[in-house]
Amino acid sequence: MPHNDLNARVGGLNNWYRLHSAISVLDHALTDPKAGKLALVSSFGAESVVLLHMVSVLRRDTPVIFLDTEMLFAETLVYQQEVSERLGLRDVRVIRASATDLSRRDPDRTLHQRDTESCCALRKTEPLNRALEGFDGWITGRKRYQGGMRADMDFFETEPETGRIKVNPLAHWAPGDVRTYMEENRLPRHPLVTKGYPSIGCMPCTSPVSEDEDPRAGRWRGEEKTECGIHFANGRVIRQGENA
């Protein structure tokens, strides 16, 4: 779709749903023809269960894309299966990098030690782009309070690089809203949260954080990198906040 048409469609969606709640935005996004065919991209991380639960209530057959980098914590893999079964999600798609790409570009599984950007591209960005082919957009769990370029984030965004839209139902939520929703709906927490992992990614690139640190201090510790690179805005990689 031409960029002008995409921007106009996203602008119209934001104007229409500006004062709606998260669940309302998600409901309309999943049914409004203007939003198109959508998939939920979920890391099954610390806060992911909120959107997964909303989808299970509204439309359990919504495609859910889970990126298995094959370097995730065992706890994440178990959590993904348990949450999917508990919520009755009907279309969970586990996506991985191709065996050919892995053997050619990271045969000894040490790419993350030499070049984290290339590792994320191989194991996350490229498989996700392939998985999203045929979709008009995707749903994320990003929130304004995560800061940086997300501070002014709308419910709907354009992704000019791909011609897709991005839906952020939780854009206006605060940390307390996430906790309250999980408690009120008795949703299971990721087991690593209680062990000091408020933000959870791949095992080699994630470490626990102390109470006085930023929640994402344990992601790519010691590097400037703070984002895996699957999010873009205005042609640039977004470097702050949760991935999905």
Per-residue pLDDT of the chain (244 residues; tens, 9 = 90+): 455 688 887 888 877 777 678 999 999 899 988 888 999 999 999 999 999 999 999 999 999 999 999 999 999 999 999 999 999 999 999 999 999 999 999 999 999 999 988 999 999 999 999 999 999 999 999 887 665 555 567 888 888 788 898 999 998 898 899 999 999 999 999 999 999 998 899 999 999 998 888 777 777 776 665 554 554 443 344 433 344 5
- Locus of tokens 């921007």: 7
In this prediction, residue 71 carries a pLDDT of 96
- Give the whole-angstrom CA distance, residue 146 versus residue 115: 25
Residues 119, 202, 205, 228: which is the catalytic one?
Answer: 228
128 three-state secondary structure: helix
* 244 assigned to some structural domain: no
Residue 30 belongs to some domain of the structure: yes
First to last CA, the chain: 24
Range of the domain at 36: 3-237
Q: Identify whether 242 is part of a domain.
A: no
63 in a structural domain: yes
Q: Tokens in use for 232?
A: 């873009």
| Global pTM value | 0.85
Q: Identify whether 59 is part of a domain.
A: yes
pLDDT of 237 reads 45
Res 149: pLDDT: 53
Q: What is the pLDDT of residue 222?
A: 65
**Total domain count for the chain?**
1
DSSP states along 32-72: -TTT-SEEEEE---SSTHHHHHHHHHH-TTS-EEEE--S-B
Question: How is 1-20 classified by DSSP, letter by letter?
Answer: --HHHHHHHHHHHHHHHTT-
Q: Is residue 216 part of a domain?
A: yes
What's 121's domain CATH number? 3.40.50.620
219 closest CA partner among 190, 237, 236, 240: 240
* The predicted structure's pLDDT at residue 4: 66
Question: What would the two tokens of residue 145 be?
Answer: 């309070």
Active site (annotated) includes residue 228: yes
* Strand 232-233 with 236-237, pairing: antiparallel
